[in-house]
Structure 1
Amino acid sequence: MLSTDDIRFFVAIAAASTLAAAARALDVTPPAVSQRLQGLEQRLGVQLVSRSPRRLTLTDEGELLLLRGRALLDEAAELTEALQARRGSITGHLKVLAPLGFGRRHVAPTVAAFRSRHPGVSVELELSDRPGRAAAGSWDIMIHIGTLKDSALRLQRLAANERFLCASPAYLKQRGVPARPRDLREHDCIALRENEEDVTLWRFSRKRARSPSEVVRIEPMLSSNDGDVVKAWALADRGLIVRSEWDVAEDLGAGRLVRALSNYHLPPADVVALLNPGRSGRARRTQAFLESLRAGLSPPPWRAARKS
């Protein structure tokens, strides 16, 4: 018979590249991991892992155990949560993925406050410049900003977020203010490489007009995958950037940055939460966290920063 402890042990093995890495994750010695794995295989009468000095590889039987075992653990967690929900408790583990800058500024405080209100929930927050590359089964909620490629994922809109073209006052004074999108070809442009988007293709549409959008292919003088770096370059008078409203609102309000081509729209980049369909997307803790996050973003704090 398999126990839930056996399944959790094997899931940790499957997530590791070597037995030594699994031992570190489980906080035990490598011989202890090897001995327990051998015992598990003997009880089941099958080989679960092909071992080599450099890498662990799951056998077909190991893949089956991993797939069905994860499902069983999820079902057990859902059952426990459903029973505890009857007495008003929110429990379980929640893994949240978020972009680096937005996650630090707006998601991390909500995580801490949520954990204080619900001590029966453990929350793991992972910040990444490419959260979309995370393995499908490794997260419950992913915070996404911008164009969404995989429309099959369930999503909930959290907050409106525009994108602005902006630069420092000193840069615009020195190089002039662009009047039309095509003028950007004569300017120093800075690109943020994120979400695997075509970041050198900037698309503008006129406000209160039905004219077709104007597309400009820029040749960035500087580029980075870090939004803080890109904004720092703009603040240091290095060129024009396209950035989310949430990131530049305070700088625009304080005059450190100035909008350019303000009579044009850029495609919006709303903040949304993607729910993993295979990870208890309707679990009470998931919905409770989303409600907390939405409350913290309503109204969007960056709108107040622009007006201050």
Structure 2
Amino acid sequence: MRPTGKLHLGNYMGALHNWVNLQNDYECYFFVADLHALTTDYADPSNILPNTREVMLDYLAAGLDPAKSVLFVQSQVKQHFELPLYLGMITPVGWLERVPSYKDMQENLAEKDLSMYGFLGYPVLMASDILLYQPKYVPVGQDQQAHVELTREVARRFNNFYKLNGEEVLPEPDVLLTPSPKLPGTDGRKMSKSYGNTILLSDPEPEVRKKLKTMVTDPARVRRTDPGDPDKCPVGDLHKVFSSHDTLEKVYAGCRTAGIGCIECKGWAADALVQILNPIQERRAKYSDADVDDVLKDGAARAEARAEQTMAEVRAAMKLA
């Protein structure tokens, strides 16, 4: 993840929750993408370092275990600088320009000048991040499949040009689709830091309840006596993800008959969120700055050792060694 600030529930349900489960069955590498942050925040990188620590703390708090997974910061593994240069030599500009997020980000960040080599080439950096570890799978949601497909195309092109003793060096990784439930922010739109509508993993209980009280609901419920529909309500969407079956039944019955008010319904949603967030925050509190430093140092060493195995093969295949 890019270090743009503390992580929120959307990040947790969209990725972290799945990652925690995957580490029990796979050899996993998870990093904070500080180099990617420079593609848009190059003019003022002052927040990247403190945000990197916050994101890593959220990784650990969510349950990523340094004994099971390799946790590191992208810029601390120098092979993440080297492979993009080689892959950039063989990647057509047209491939980069057709990446769906290329124009989307230019439109969404119109206030920033993104006509930079680094921004155009960030899909090559992303492909390198993946291919450095010669993986079989990349765990992503459906919206990220285009990036993995580009990675496969880059690997295929590299293997067409270069082989090592007749063998292909870079595998074409498969997408490992992970569930990513719809999770609205407090204003009903997708939960996103850029919208200012997030519930952070580190928000204390009073803050969670305060944010839920202001959350938008089914517009049909103008008055307390008006019936509503949880399927048309952002609070209802939160219940579907986090609440128990019994609570969900009460929500549907009470909302559709106007038997409950939105305040009571929001309180039940807050109860469910707090049950999820409390153990996350308890784990977060156990890690000191020194602990995080140790995790990052060990993770960088392990990632670098694995990445260098790949780079030795890449250099040899390209006749650069």
TM range (shorter): under 0.3
Q: Greater Rg, structure 1 or structure 2? A: 1
Between Structure 1 and Structure 2, the one with more strand by share is 1
Q: Give me the TM-score of the superposition, normalised by structure 2.
A: 0.24
Between Structure 1 and Structure 2, the one with more helix by share is 2
